[in-house]
Amino acid sequence: MASRSMQAFETLDSLGSKRDQGSPAATDRCNKPSDLLAEDGGAERRRRRRSKRKASSGKSYEEASKRMRGTTGSPRSPAASQDHGGSASAAGAATPSSVNTGRTNERTIFNARYVEVGPLGEGSYGSVYSGYRRTDRLPVAIKHIAKPDVVYMRLILGGRVRQVPLEVVLLLKAGAGAEPGSVGSTAAVTLVDWFDLSDELVLVLERPVPSMDLIAYLEARGGHIQECEAKIIMKQLVDAAMEIEAKGVFHRDIKLENVLVETGSDVPRVRLIDFGFGRVMREGAYTQASGTPAYTPPEWYQRGSYRAGPTTVWQLGVLMFGLLAGRLPFDTGRQIVHKKAKLGNGFSRNCQDFLRRCLTKCPDRRFTLERLQLHPWLD
């Protein structure tokens, strides 16, 4: 693919990004995670794009760097082709029990099972509220996604082809399902329940208590953390990334605010959240940019494509820099391609080398997750 002009990606004011859209399901239905079995899969199908969208261009790389929060929604070349999630295999998906295809009582069932308490946050494609399950007061996070923003995959369920939200598929592949004792056992937060309603998709997710995202975690510690603590977090993140990729999931948007830190013990435990920009893993390249601009790897700007493993490693490097420096390393696409990220003095040689291996500009020379896991800094 022809290389992209660097100038075209220098600012976000005229860019913004929209995700692939899937086709709506033939019927509105609610399903427990145990209702899903990806026996066979097909390509994602696109659905119409929203006619009205709040522009994602209001935050520049510089603003994202200063606030350590990148706006989700990446630069895109008009020539870039659309990515498809591929197929979902039975491995990693939950075993089915039944599929509720009722048309009128889905919201009633949701309201009978769960209570919403208050807002937790809002992103480009969904709003998240705290809540709990009525039967046992299990803390949950309830994510609402407008129907035009939902990406679907065709799956065979019980011998019938159905449209299943891609984020549901990814969460079930990455997680352990919602069987008793399984909640909290995986790197990804557990999908407890989901409801495909007529106007929105509602995901009910595990909400560890107490916990906070990495942005809040850093703010509580003065904006950055020491190398010894960063090592603990990065070791867990490398393991987490390997775990979900082994299950066939490419997160595509690993960043500070998409990492949850459980703070109930002396040693923080990290969990991956928000799989809304994720895709099913494949060996080939992806050609639709997605995720957060400040975490976008240089190969997108140079070639208009990227692969799963090298992208994840790059995003881990950007995140690590933020943990230690209290800011993100790059402000513009040109800097991502040409600037070297340096932590400065005060960090060990192994720490500096680990970061350099993550932020190597050439994806073929960048360390793999397996090599990062064996790096002496994580010993």
Write out pLDDT tens, residues 219-274. 999 999 999 999 999 999 999 999 999 999 999 999 999 999 999 999 999 999 99
Tokens at 88, concatenated? 């979902």
What homologous superfamily is domain 211-378 in, according to CATH? Transferase(Phosphotransferase) domain 1 (1.10.510.10)
Give the three-state DSSP class for 132.
strand
Give the three-state DSSP class for 244.
helix
Least confident of 42-56, 132-146, 353-367: 42-56
Give the three-state DSSP class for 236.
helix
Tokens at 250, concatenated? 């490419």
What's the pLDDT tens digit per position in 192-212? 999 999 999 999 999 999 999
Segment 164-180 mean pLDDT: 82
| Catalytic position from the list 83, 149, 193, 253 | 253
Q: Is the pLDDT of residue 11 over 90?
A: no
Segment 118-124 mean pLDDT: 84
Rg from Cα positions in the chain: 20
Give the C-alpha separation, 257 to 278, whole Å: 15
Most confident of 18-22, 154-158, 314-318: 314-318
> What band does 141 get if pLDDT is binned at 50, 70 and 90?
very high
- The secondary structure of 252-279 as a DSSP string is S---GGGEEEE-SSSS-EEEE---TT-E
> What band does 177 get if pLDDT is binned at 50, 70 and 90?
low
Listed by start position, the domains of the chain span 211-378
Give the C-alpha separation, 157 to 168, whole Å: 14
Most confident of 87-101, 280-294, 299-313: 299-313
Does the active-site annotation cover 253?
yes
Q: Is the pLDDT of residue 142 over 90?
A: yes
For the four alpha carbons of 253, 61, 307 and 323, in that order, the dihedral sign comes to negative
Give the three-state DSSP class for 234.
helix
Cβ within 8 Å of residue 40, ≥6 positions away? 87, 155, 156
What's the pLDDT tens digit per position in 335-358? 999 999 989 889 999 999 999 999
**Cβ count near 360 (within 10 Å):** 17
- The secondary structure of 280-345 as a DSSP string is E--SS-B-S--S-GGG--HHHHHHS-B-HHHHHHHHHHHHHHHHHHSS-S-SSHHHHHHPPP---T
| Pairing label, strands 249-250, 152-157 | unpaired
Q: Is the pLDDT of residue 88 over 70?
A: no
Segment 43-56 mean pLDDT: 36
* End-to-end CA separation in angstroms for the chain: 40
Higher pLDDT, 126 or 11: 126
Higher pLDDT, 277 or 22: 277
Q: Is the pLDDT of residue 121 over 60?
A: yes
**Cβ count near 117 (within 10 Å):** 12
pLDDT of residue 172: 94
Q: What is the pTM of this model?
A: 0.77
